[in-house]
Amino acid sequence: MFKKFYPMEDWDSAYEEQKYQYLYDNGFRGIIFDIDNTLVEHGAPANEAAVALVEKLRRMGFAVCFLSNNGEERVSSFCKKLDAAYIYKAGKPGTKGYGAAMELIGTTKEQTVSVGDQIFTDMWGANRAGVYSVLVKQIGKKEEIQIVLKRYLERIVLYFYRKRKAKVK
């Protein structure tokens, strides 16, 4: 019932650098990142950690694009410091933004990973687009009210996801 929302993997943080090497070694060449509560707290600018991560991923051989439901001002100001491709007002969980992101970075869905912190936008959207989905724990607790409400529903999905994951192990 909830499988369409389940991530392919879940990590504690988007900053688990060794995991990207594993993905690269397994044929992935593009990463689509969410921004808020994935790489920085909601509304925060790109910080040194985000810049360092993106630089390391590029040296590793990854192409990077940011896909956000936020407006242009928020997304462009974040990505300017990273000199990164981006799509704003992406309409996640719709698939159009994922396709546009892959076109920007020159990857196929089989070569692309999407990293985000939300089940109903980031995971569902990536899964619908056929992109490998990685869920990370949210960085900050400050969020817009509609996201706070979705987090309660996410807990239910994550309960069943973790229960299923424990059975598989």
Domain holding 59, by residue range, is 3-168
Residue 88 phi/psi, 5° resolution? -105, 165
pLDDT tens digits for 68-88?
999 999 999 999 999 999 999
What integer is the mean pLDDT of 120-149? 88
Q: Is the pTM of this model over 0.85?
A: yes
- Is pLDDT of 153 > 90? no
What integer is the mean pLDDT of 34-44? 95
- Split at pLDDT 50, 70, 90, the class of 160 is confident
> How far is 93 from 120, CA to CA, in rounded Å?
7
Quote the pLDDT of residue 143: 66
Kindly report the CATH number assigned to the domain that includes residue 142. 3.40.50.1000
Query: Which H or E run includes 114?
Result: strand 112-116
Residues near 67 by Cβ (< 8 Å), separated by ≥ 6?
32, 33, 34, 86, 87, 90, 92, 97, 98, 101, 114
What's the total number of domains in the chain?
1
